[in-house]
């Protein structure tokens, strides 16, 4: 890209870029489609082979099985994919329980996927990007990395931890030309939030927490992924982009009578 940055029409184009997307359902599916629409060649990786194949077919890319909690498998996937320009990590899980009710097994399950696997992915893919001297990594965090509620202790801790891992990776990889950023969604209609959607009172309460007064669709996160992956964000690293409908900007929504 030239110093004048005068190719604004192509600022978000990803032609010739190779993208690896880990977690191919829900938000991941939309991210894959958006990356492909902007010219990237996308490889979809997911623990569920059917999910990986379905998203890859829609995005015109390739599919691979990957259990991201298996460090050796992540290393093998990174090595097998070779030169990756863009890495997007959306895989996550949650167990909604209060601290006093959490079991050690549940704690380990959430931490191993949401935090430990994030570290493993940053290590495996980041190492290769640093060697090449280029690349963009996008990790999905959450508003829960900033604000909490009862029953979200472990999930929130892992999402806050992911933000700190992103900041540190940005600091360590930056001089080698690798950018690392996070996206923090608010409430999004995905399988992970089925428990909330099944309860109308709970669903409506979440909808009114943000400034827009509604939930997000997975497709509404895709633009943030493309932005952070593209030349539009060449001077953006170590940041967390809030895509939360104003959730963290307001303390609940109330429209007084006039």
Spatial contact of 162 and 118, defined as CB atoms under 8 Å apart: yes
Please compute the mean of the pLDDT values over residues 26-33 and round it to a whole number: 97
C-alpha to C-alpha distance for 1 and 204, rounded to whole angstroms: 46
Q: Would residue 6 count as lying in a domain?
A: no
pLDDT of residue 4 exceeding 70, the answer is no
Q: Would residue 55 count as lying in a domain?
A: yes
Q: Would residue 63 count as lying in a domain?
A: yes
Spatial contact of 25 and 193, defined as CB atoms under 8 Å apart: no
Quick one: pLDDT band at residue 90, thresholds 50, 70, 90? very high
- The predicted structure's pLDDT at residue 197: 84
- The predicted structure's pLDDT at residue 252: 80
Q: Would residue 7 count as lying in a domain?
A: no
Task: Of 7-11, 52-56, 123-127, 253-257, give the lowest mean pLDDT range.
Answer: 253-257
C-alpha to C-alpha distance for 68 and 83, rounded to whole angstroms: 19
pLDDT of residue 253 exceeding 90, the answer is no
Q: Would residue 27 count as lying in a domain?
A: yes
| Other residues' Cβ atoms within 10 Å of the Cβ of residue 255 | 7
- The predicted structure's pLDDT at residue 241: 98
Cα–Cα nearest to 74, from 24, 124, 20: 124
Quick one: pLDDT band at residue 34, thresholds 50, 70, 90? very high
- The predicted structure's pLDDT at residue 256: 63
- The predicted structure's pLDDT at residue 127: 98
C-alpha to C-alpha distance for 95 and 243, rounded to whole angstroms: 23
CATH of the domain at 182: 3.40.50.720
Between the alpha carbon of residue 198 and those of residues 189, 193, 203, 204, the distances in Å are 11, 9, 8, 11
Quick one: pLDDT band at residue 3, thresholds 50, 70, 90? low
Q: Would residue 3 count as lying in a domain?
A: no
C-alpha to C-alpha distance for 233 and 243, rounded to whole angstroms: 16
Q: Which residue range is the domain that position 180 belongs to?
A: 14-243
CA–chain centroid gap for 48, Å, is: 18
For residue 20, list its beta bridge partners.
43, 87
C-alpha to C-alpha distance for 112 and 11, rounded to whole angstroms: 36
Q: What is the pLDDT of residues 142-197, one digit of tens each?
A: 999 999 999 999 999 999 999 999 999 999 999 999 999 999 999 999 877 888 88
What total of structural domains would you count in the chain? 1
What is the chain's percent helix, strand, coil content, to nearest 5? 50, 15, 35
Q: Which residues are catalytic?
A: 155
pTM of the model: 0.94
C-alpha to C-alpha distance for 225 and 126, rounded to whole angstroms: 18
Helix count (H) and strand count (E) of the chain? 9, 7
pLDDT of residue 101 exceeding 60, the answer is yes
Q: What are phi and psi of 129, to 5 degrees?
A: -65, -40
Highest-confidence range of 13-22, 209-218, 245-254, by mean pLDDT? 13-22
Which H, E and C letters describe 134-162, residue by residue?
CEEEEEECCHHHCCCCCCCHHHHHHHHHH
Q: Would residue 2 count as lying in a domain?
A: no
| Cβ neighbours for 174, distance < 8 A, ≥ 6 positions apart | 237, 238
Mean pLDDT of the chain: 94
- The upper half-sphere exposure of residue 203, i.e. CA atoms within 13 Å in the direction of its Cβ, equals 13
Please compute the mean of the pLDDT values over residues 76-103 and round it to a whole number: 97
Helix pair angle (71-81, 117-132), 10° resolution: 30
Spatial contact of 225 and 34, defined as CB atoms under 8 Å apart: yes
Q: Would residue 5 count as lying in a domain?
A: no
């Amino acid at each position: 890209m030239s110093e004048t940055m005068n190719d604004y029409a192509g600022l978000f184009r990803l032609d010739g870029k190779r993208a690896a997307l880990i977690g191919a359902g829900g938000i991941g599916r939309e991210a894959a489609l958006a990356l492909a629409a902007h010219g990237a060649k996308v490889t979809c990786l997911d623990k569920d082979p059917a999910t990986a194949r379905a998203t890859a077919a829609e995005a015109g890319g390739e599919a691979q099985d990957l259990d991201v909690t298996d460090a050796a498998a992540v290393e093998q996937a990174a090595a097998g994919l070779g030169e990756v320009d863009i890495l997007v990590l959306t895989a996550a899980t949650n167990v909604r329980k209060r601290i006093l009710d959490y079991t050690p097994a549940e704690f380990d399950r959430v931490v191993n996927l949401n935090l430990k696997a994030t570290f493993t992915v940053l290590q495996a893919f980041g190492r290769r990007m640093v060697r090449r001297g280029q690349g963009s990594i996008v990790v999905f965090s959450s508003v829960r990395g900033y604000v909490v509620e009862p029953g979200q202790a472990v999930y929130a801790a892992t999402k806050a931890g992911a933000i700190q891992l992103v900041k540190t990776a940005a600091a360590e990889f930056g001089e080698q030309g690798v950018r690392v950023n996070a996206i923090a969604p608010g409430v999004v209609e995905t399988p992970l939030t089925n428990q909330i959607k099944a309860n109308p009172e709970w669903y409506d309460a979440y909808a009114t927490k943000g400034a827009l007064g509604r939930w997000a669709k997975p497709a509404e996160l895709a633009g943030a992924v493309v932005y952070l992956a593209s030349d539009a964000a060449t001077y953006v690293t170590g940041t967390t982009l809030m895509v939360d409908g104003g959730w963290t900007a307001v303390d609940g929504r109330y429209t007084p009578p006039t």
